[in-house]
Structures are given as structure tokens and as C-alpha cells.
């Protein structure tokens, strides 16, 4: 019970502090909206929040799924081949170093009008790097004895990968996925905010800005935080199922 109450208590405390700070300073809501301003904003746009929230969510998830697949392919290639690792690393690091905000207008122009594709693309581009790196590091640091134990029995490379290398890399993979999921959200919203006539929570944020509806903008931020938390904990649950053995806290 204490487990469940701790985060609820923390959130209530945070909201109270926020409300109090705005009240004490007597800030107008264009400077800082208070939690009590948010609920009317949510209620007024409840259908938009639901439909746009869904838009943002599915694009983020699709982008993330593509990032996982591409990240796995790069990670496996770099994990097993030193030449590929040395060759691809600078390229990937360089690609990752480019701020994705600068890529957004380029992509928006490249596939003009294809809002879904653009958004998924940015979500993917921003989030695949940590996955590729963690998988490649996990595979390349596999102790040689692990490989030898199966190789000595005549196991194929694929068997070694499937039975040992892959499961052993899962904890690193899920660690990276937790980073990637928040990154993917950032990517989705970047595109949604920038695209004209966009959809999704980012677009709702943008319309709040153009209409000077400050409580709405804050409400969107809160909605994004809620979606982020939800998706993060989905990953945590998956991690518990597939890589729960790496958790030693109970021992």
C-alpha cells in the first residue's frame, strides 16, 4: 500500500506547491497557469485531447518500434563485426549530434503534407541511437567464455546469438529503450508543433499559443507528461517480463 501511495502523495504535494506559488506571487495565467486553471481547459477541449492524444501516442509508438528494429540491426552488426563498428560509429555519432529540431523543417519539406510519415520519421530518428549503441556494446562485451561454452559443442553462430548473446543483452536494451521512449515523444511533438495544420498534442499546443490560451498550453504539457509516464511504465512492465532476471533488488 505504501508503494502505491508514495507517488500519489508526491504528485499531490507537487500540485499544491505549484498552486501555492502562483497564488502567493499573484501571477496572471499568461505568465504561469495554475493547476486549478488546467481542469477547465481539459474539460473544454476533452475530445481534442482524446483524439490528438491518440494521434501523438500511436505515432510515437510506431516511431519507437521502427527505432527498435533499425537500432537492433545496427546494434547486431556493430556488436559482431569490429570493422563495421569502427566504420559505422562516427557516422552514427555524427547523425545523433545533429539537433533534431534542425532536421524537422527539412523533413517537413521533403515529405510535404505527409504529416503522419514526417512525425513518425522524426520520432524514429531521434530515438534509435541509444538502442543501436546499447545493443552493440552489450554484444561486443560478451565474455568469450560464454561464446566458447556453446562453440565447443559445435553450436552455430546463430544459436550462440539466440541462446546467449541476445538474452544477455536484454537488460542493456531495456535501459536504452527507457531513454528512447522519452526521446521519441520529443521527436513526435517537435514535428507536430512545427507542421502547419498538424494534428496531435503538439498541434494543440501550437493552437493554444496562437490563441493566447495559456491554460491550454499548460494542459497540453501535463497531458504529454501523463502519456510519457504511461508509455515508460509499459516498458518497465515489458522489462520485468523479459529481463526480470537481472533485477536483484528482491534478494
Partner 1 sequence: MASERNTNFIKIDGVSHTFQTATGNLPVLDDLSLSVPKNGFTAIVGPSGCGKSTVTRLIAGLLRPNIGGVWLKGEPVNSPRDIVGMAFQNPVLLEWRSILKNVMLPLEIVPNSLSSVAREQRALDLLKLVGLSGFEDKKPSELSGGMRQRASLCRALVHKPEILILDEPFGALDAFTREDLWQTMHQLREKEPFTGVLITHDLREAIFLADEVVVLSGRPATTQFKQEMMERGPRSIDQLYTPRAMETLNILREQIKIARQNEGTVS
Using CB under 8 A as the criterion, which residues of the chain lie in contact with partner 1 when the complex forms? 143, 145-146, 148-155, 159, 163-164, 167-168, 170, 243, 245-246, 248, 251
The smaller minimum CB distance to partner 1, of residues 174 and 205, is found at 174
What b-and-e string marks burial along 134-158, b requiring 16 or more CB atoms within 10 Å of the CB? bbbbbbbebeeeebeebeeeebeee
Q: Toward partner 1, which CB reaches closer, 4 or 83?
A: 83
Q: Which is nearer to partner 1, 101 or 164 (CB)?
A: 164
Q: Of 21 and 86, which CB lies nearer to partner 1 in the complex structure?
A: 86
- Nearest distance, CB of residue 83 and partner 1, angstroms: 16
Q: Considering the complex, what minimum distance in angstroms separates the CB of residue 177 from partner 1? A: 17
CB atoms within 10 A of CB 249: 4
**Cα–Cα–Cα angle for 33, 35, 41, rounded to 5 degrees:** 75
Least separation in angstroms between CB 163 and partner 1: 7
Residue 196 in contact with residue 15, Cβ under 8 Å? no
Min dist CB 147 to partner 1, Å, is 9
DSSP for 207-220, written as a single string? HHHHTT-HHHHHHH
Q: Tell me how far, at minimum, the Cβ of 212 lies from partner 1, in Å.
A: 55
Q: 3-class DSSP state for residue 32?
A: coil
SS3 content of the chain, % helix, strand, coil (to 5): 85, 0, 15
For residue 161, give the DSSP letter. Answer: I
Which of 8/153 has CB closer to partner 1? Answer: 153
Amino acid at each position: 500500500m505504501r508503494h502505491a501511495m508514495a507517488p500519489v502523495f508526491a504528485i499531490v504535494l507537487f500540485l499544491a506547491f505549484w498552486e501555492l506559488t502562483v497564488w502567493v506571487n499573484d501571477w496572471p495565467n499568461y505568465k504561469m497557469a495554475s493547476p486549478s486553471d488546467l481542469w477547465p481547459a481539459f474539460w473544454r477541449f476533452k475530445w481534442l485531447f482524446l483524439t490528438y492524444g491518440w494521434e501523438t501516442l500511436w505515432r510515437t509508438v510506431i516511431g519507437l518500434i521502427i527505432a527498435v528494429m533499425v537500432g537492433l540491426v545496427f546494434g547486431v552488426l556493430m556488436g559482431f563485426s569490429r570493422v563495421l563498428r569502427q566504420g559505422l560509429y562516427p557516422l552514427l555519432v555524427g547523425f545523433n549530434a545533429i539537433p533534431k529540431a534542425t532536421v524537422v523543417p527539412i523533413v517537413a519539406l521533403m515529405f510535404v503534407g505527409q504529416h503522419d510519415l514526417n512525425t513518425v520519421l522524426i520520432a524514429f530518428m531521434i530515438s534509435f541511437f541509444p538502442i543501436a549503441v546499447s545493443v552493440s556494446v552489450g554484444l561486443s562485451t560478451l565474455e568469450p567464455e560464454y561464446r566458447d561454452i556453446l562453440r565447443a559443442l559445435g553450436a552455430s553462430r546463430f544459436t550462440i546469438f539466440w541462446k546467449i548473446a541476445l538474452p544477455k543483452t536484454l537488460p542493456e536494451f531495456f535501459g536504452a529503450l527507457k531513454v528512447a521512449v522519452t526521446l521519441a515523444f520529443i521527436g513526435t511533438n517537435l514535428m507536430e508543433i512545427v507542421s502547419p495544420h498538424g494534428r496531435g498534442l503538439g498541434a494543440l499546443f501550437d493552437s493554444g499559443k496562437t490563441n493566447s490560451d495559456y491554460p491550454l498550453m499548460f494542459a497540453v504539457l501535463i497531458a504529454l507528461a501523463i502519456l510519457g509516464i504511461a508509455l515508460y511504465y509499459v516498458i518497465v512492465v515489458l522489462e520485468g517480463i523479459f529481463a526480470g532476471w537481472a533485477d536483484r533488488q528482491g534478494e
